Amino acid sequence: MESRVLSRATTATTISSLRSSPGENHQNVSFVSLKPIGAVGEGGNVIWGRQLRPALLLESSSAPAGLFSGKKEILRPILATASSPAEGSDSTGEAAPVGFFDRYPALVTGFFFFMWYFLNVIFNILNKRIYNYFPYPYFVSVIHLLVGVVYCLVSWAVGLPKRAPIDSKFLKLLIPVAVCHALGHVTSNVSFAAVAVSFTHTIKALEPFFNAGASQFILGQQLPLTLWLSLAPVVIGVSMASLTELSFNWTGFISAMISNISFTYRSIYSKKAMTDMDSTNIYAYISIIALFVCIPPAIIVEGPQLIKHGLSDAISKVGMVKFISDLFWVGMFYHLYNQLATNTLERVAPLTHAVGNVLKRVFVIGFSILAFGNKISTQTGIGTVIAIAGVAAYSYIKAQMEEEKRQMKAA
């Protein structure tokens, strides 16, 4: 599932060089002006639940001509030993040792993409298998969040990362975001439990359509005609797939649509919750709030059935150990794939991010069909392909628009 939290762009100013007094030797740390790329308002890489920390790229226009051959590189402080002109020696500097992540960035990014897709696929398959013998999506949604919250609390306890303080003002900003996140998460799981995983993801391909509508009619942002036209194949493809989907039922369809709307409003409220807090801390706070939001509906809707026969039936089918381990691992995979998604998306450009999201949905749909042997009609298959192609076109156009805005602001 895709999610987004806004990050605030920051710009570091140039630090003046330190002057050396005659006869003194000391080291100067020189910086050039930094320009962040990937800020939310400028089409940056974002995913729900986490504030991204965009890479600082060196604008070639900020440095002397020819120094970096027009390339953008990750900025690093350079230590230079200053020497007096009278000594007749040239100033030389040594760059800091280059680590593995900086030496092989493409390899590392590729690994992040692989793990993001892998964990997402495993989560969806394990999640559906649990619903096959334990059809209680409200309770399972609570477990997803509970395992993630425990993970974050343990991380805080060991200081990785250190817990960031939160005040009442910021808490009020996060509450509507977390409520929308909780509603979208629960309804997604209701849909997963009711219909095939591939069909739910096909319906959720309509999320860009709802996002575009909210941008135009709620936020007042004018979108070009080409962007709206790119959404036509999405609507047509989802309609074709829905008409002949063998696992279709209204509960699964409507729940997936409510999930799309919830995540759209989550994005709107996220614009008001801009923060400088690091990604892990903000995700932990949102997960905690969302957990408290999800617990009451789970108790009201599924509590009596769980106590009466739900838990006992599941244990009798698979055993106590497997039941508990399945719930634990599905929650862990849910948390880890979101975390890997953040690590992946903050390393790449908006266009790569958009393509990556589309490919992820293709992977999930394809592997879920293989894992569960779901039979789909020819029309459903064609409709799914058309919908995914429409999402790809929309993502490409939107990413280009955001990149053009970023370049104009940079200029």
| pLDDT of 405 over the 50 cut | yes
pLDDT tens digits for range 172-200: 989 998 999 999 999 999 999 999 888 88
- Asked if 200 and 137 count as a contact pair (C-beta separation under 8 A), the reply is no
Number of H helices, E strands in the chain: 14, 7
Mean pLDDT of all residues belonging to the chain: 76
Distances, alpha carbon 40 to alpha carbons 2, 65, 213, 215, 288, in Å: 15, 30, 19, 14, 24
- Res. 157 pLDDT band, cuts 50 70 90: very high
Instruction: Round to whole Å and give the CA distance between 402 and 350.
Output: 8
Note the pTM of the prediction, 2 decimals: 0.68
| pLDDT of 287 over the 70 cut | yes
Q: What is the pLDDT of residue 184?
A: 93
- Tell me the two tokens of residue 118: 């892998």
Q: What is the pLDDT of residue 63?
A: 44
The backbone region for 92, taken as left when phi is positive above 0, alpha when psi lies in -120 to 50, beta otherwise, is beta
Q: What is the pLDDT of residue 130?
A: 96
- Asked if 345 and 353 count as a contact pair (C-beta separation under 8 A), the reply is yes
pLDDT tens digits for range 57-98: 334 344 444 444 444 444 444 444 444 444 444 445 555 666
